Amino acid sequence: MTLLDGLEKELRKVCPGLELRKNEPMSRHTTFRVGGPAALMALPRGEEAKAVMEAAFRCNVTPFFLGNGSNLLVSDQGYDGFVVKLSGTYGEGEVYDNELMVGGAMLLSRAANLALEHGLTGLEWAAGIPGTVGGAVTMNAGAYGGEIAQVLHQVNALDYDSRLTVVQNKECDFSYRHSAFSDGRRLILEALFLLTPGDPAAIKERMEGLAAQRKAKQPLEYPSAGSTFKRPPPQSDGTAVYAAALIDQCGLKGLTVGGAQVSEKHAGFIINKGGATCRDILELMEEVKRRVLEETGMALEPEVKTLGV
């Protein structure tokens, strides 16, 4: 019996109502729409999350925590481990005055709209981001001058040994696309945001304006993982450098490997034009990195994470 077999048996015993899936296609759980099967996936609701973590710890199995898969590229062969994806009440949220408490499985865009419904400002920039709150906190997601670090107050998370920890903003070690959760060793259950009362009409106008910018500039009609590469460090004189501009400068828009393509609309996006595989996307990423380094001297670092590769 393998460790995963033992874990499955344990989970079915201690959590008889838990949704468990074997050989679950990860293409259903990533915005790239690629990826082979995960050997075992649990989708805990409520108190099931703690039981799942306890069982995994007892069975010596390290879980991979999955959000919306909006920054993830999974191997064509899949992942031979254990995936945990929160569901149920973890996709819900509540508002108390200017505090927004939301589950880790809630889409960040939904959290932004919940804030709008209650006349709270601070998350307008997040309305078009396809990730979950848990994933957004993990990578300190940001756009249009806003980022998670600016509005997060605290996080409720489960450690690998199932201990509940409350992590304050100052303990989150936020930096560009990084946090204390980036090592993947804690499952984010809930996040508490501190927002500011504002004019709902102005908040809505700001969100609609940003949505129009995204639609005009980004290839939203194709599966992708958003920005493929991180923003490079500024030049020695402080001048900002952008991955998309470097890729465009090298004439790489439209470059294709199999079903993967550097978007002709936004060079910072690698898109699935149809039938792309993980291998296609990785090969295209490597070619883009090679050409940019060769022609500009700048080394691009992937923002997209990989699993099973």
Residue type, 136: A
Reported as type and span, the H/E element at residue 306 is: strand 305-307
- Indicate which residue of 70, 75, 179, 227 is catalytic: 227
Q: How far apart are CA 89 and CA 18, in angstroms?
A: 14
CA 178 to chain centre: 12
Q: How far apart are CA 162 and CA 158, in angstroms?
A: 5
- Indicate which residue of 8, 147, 190, 303 is catalytic: 303
- Indicate which residue of 177, 186, 190, 206 is catalytic: 177
Examine the residue annotation and report whether 294 is marked as an active-site residue of this protein. no
**93 in the Ramachandran plot: left (φ > 0), alpha (ψ -120 to 50) or beta?**
beta
**134 in the Ramachandran plot: left (φ > 0), alpha (ψ -120 to 50) or beta?**
alpha
The residue among 79, 90, 106 whose CA lies nearest residue 50 is 90
Q: How far apart are CA 122 and CA 195, in angstroms?
A: 6
Alpha helix (H) residue ranges in 90-240? 108-117, 133-138, 148-151, 200-217
Examine the residue annotation and report whether 48 is marked as an active-site residue of this protein. no
DSSP 86: -
**Active site residues per annotation:** 177, 227, 303
